[in-house]
């Protein structure tokens, strides 16, 4: 079968690899139909590492995916604890927690000490024709959802988890720093939560156009205006109730502290390029800010599926580019260079 494997920084090769063996008890063999390219994939693609996890051998990237169940092992039950049927189209949670450690037992599987994650070395991901996964990671898709939408349930879950951490109330003001896919999905969830006004910042004009189209009240280009000054002016010097930092750290993290109002909540969602961030401690303390870091997601598929299926959130309009698996290298290069007004790339694996 074909797979897109990362051999080093910016070195993706489309190669033939062995198909996975049949599923064992509690597992499922999935024919992958669609995989989205995530910002964390780009980190690994650019640096052959993410955080302290270094690429040590060729790795199949990809963790936002959906496909069809080809075969199941004995006793295979899906994420709703129902028997998993062959032929079903499913979205797949890429995280496999141990379910036994202290943090899993406390209800935080996203913080599992022994967690395995698709596309994070050494575990191969979903830019491949077939993948074997735990059956309980599979969430059946209703007929009205495509596999592309199924793939995007993962980043939507990340956005939903981040918004949940903010404990937002109706009519609270929000700033979203970064209008990449996660920032734009946070915008959609925040709108559904009743936030107003919502201010979005980015350096790419086409992403700001998308933010406006999705419902942002204000969209600020940080290449043209000082975002701190602009947001404080829009809020008459008050600042905003909630800030989502959804860029790659650095200046955005510092700005988040400056634009938060007294008692604001700052949710750090972006993955910083560097291992350390500098935050203005004095204003954060004086304002009594709450700063929280968001780690992936937890227990979100059962919530995101009805949000999309019922039409409350449209995630297909996030997709700007579709490419086949044979052009996965081009997809990553284009995404990393921010070419052709790219926002979200979905790689079609088997025509889904």
Q: What is the CATH number of the domain that holds 177?
A: 3.40.50.720
pLDDT digits 0-9 by tens, 12-51: 999 999 999 999 999 999 999 999 999 889 989 988 888 7
- In angstroms, the first-to-last Cα distance of the chain is 17
The range of the structural domain enclosing residue 336 comes to 2-152+319-348
pLDDT digits 0-9 by tens, 323-334: 999 999 999 999
| CB-CB neighbours of 295 under 10 Å | 15
Residue 271: pLDDT above 80?
no
pLDDT digits 0-9 by tens, 129-171: 999 999 999 999 999 999 999 999 999 999 999 999 999 999 9
Structure tokens at 179: 């209008």
pLDDT for the residue numbered 115: 86
Residue 302: pLDDT above 60?
yes
- Examine the domain organization and report whether 145 and 173 are in the same domain: no
Residue 352: pLDDT above 50?
no
Residue 276: pLDDT above 80?
no
- Examine the domain organization and report whether 338 and 282 are in the same domain: no
If you ran DSSP here, which 8-state letter would residue 227 be given?
A: H
pLDDT digits 0-9 by tens, 102-135: 888 888 888 888 888 888 889 999 999 999 999 9
- Examine the domain organization and report whether 220 and 101 are in the same domain: no
Q: Which letter, b or e, does each residue of 302-330 get, where b requires 16 or more Cβ atoms within 10 Å of its Cβ? A: eebbebbeeeebebeebbbbebebebbbe
Is residue 56 very low, low, confident or very high in pLDDT (cuts 50, 70, 90)?
confident
What is the percentage of the chain residues whose pLDDT exceeds 90?
77
pTM greater than the 0.75 cutoff? yes
Residue 218 belongs to a domain? yes
pLDDT digits 0-9 by tens, 163-186: 999 999 999 999 999 999 999 999
Q: Who has greater pLDDT, 275 or 307?
A: 307
Query: What's the chain's length in residues?
Result: 352
* Mean pLDDT, residues 256-274: 90
What is the percentage of the chain residues whose pLDDT exceeds 70?
98
Q: What is the mean pLDDT of the chain?
A: 93
Q: Into how many domains does the chain fold?
A: 2
Contact between 244 and 293 under an 8 Å Cβ cutoff? The reply is no
Residue 275: pLDDT above 50?
yes
- Examine the domain organization and report whether 289 and 330 are in the same domain: no
Residues 306, 335: Cα–Cα separation, whole Å: 29
Residue 116 belongs to a domain? yes
Contact between 125 and 118 under an 8 Å Cβ cutoff? The reply is yes
- Examine the domain organization and report whether 124 and 205 are in the same domain: no
């Amino acid at each position: 079968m074909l797979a897109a494997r990362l051999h080093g920084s910016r070195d993706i090769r489309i190669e033939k690899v062995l198909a996975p063996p049949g599923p064992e008890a509690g597992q499922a063999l999935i024919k992958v139909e669609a995989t989205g390219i995530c910002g964390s994939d780009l980190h690994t693609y650019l640096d052959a590492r993410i955080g302290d996890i270094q690429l040590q051998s060729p790795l199949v990237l990809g963790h936002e995916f959906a496909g069809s169940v080809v075969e199941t092992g004995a006793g295979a039950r899906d994420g709703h604890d129902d028997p998993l049927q062959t032929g079903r189209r499913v979205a797949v949670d890429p995280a496999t927690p141990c379910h036994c450690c202290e943090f899993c037992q406390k209800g935080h599987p996203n913080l599992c000490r022994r967690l395995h994650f698709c596309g994070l070395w050494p575990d191969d991901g979903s830019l491949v024709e077939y993948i074997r996964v735990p059956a309980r990671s599979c969430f059946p898709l209703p007929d009205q959802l495509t596999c592309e939408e199924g793939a995007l349930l993962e980043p939507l879950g990340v956005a939903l988890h981040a918004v949940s951490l903010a404990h937002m109330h109706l009519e609270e003001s929000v700033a979203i720093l970064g209008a990449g896919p996660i920032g734009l999905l946070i915008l959609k969830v925040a709108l559904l939560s009743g936030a107003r006004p919502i201010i979005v910042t980015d350096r790419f004009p086409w992403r700001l156009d998308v933010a406006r189209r999705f419902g942002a009240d204000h969209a600020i280009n940080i290449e043209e205006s000082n975002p701190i000054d602009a947001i404080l002016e829009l809020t008459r010097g008050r600042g905003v109730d909630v800030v989502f930092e959804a860029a790659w750290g650095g200046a955005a993290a510092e700005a988040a502290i400056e634009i938060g109002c007294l008692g604001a909540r700052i949710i750090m969602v972006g993955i910083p390029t560097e291992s350390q961030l500098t935050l203005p401690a004095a204003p954060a303390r004086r304002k009594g800010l709450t700063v929280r870091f968001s780690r992936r997601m937890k227990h979100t598929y059962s919530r995101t599926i009805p949000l999309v299926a019922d039409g409350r959130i449209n995630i297909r309009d996030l997709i700007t580019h579709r490419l086949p698996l044979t052009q996965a290298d081009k997809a990553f290069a284009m995404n990393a260079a921010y070419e052709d007004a790219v926002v979200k790339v979905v790689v079609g694996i088997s025509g889904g």
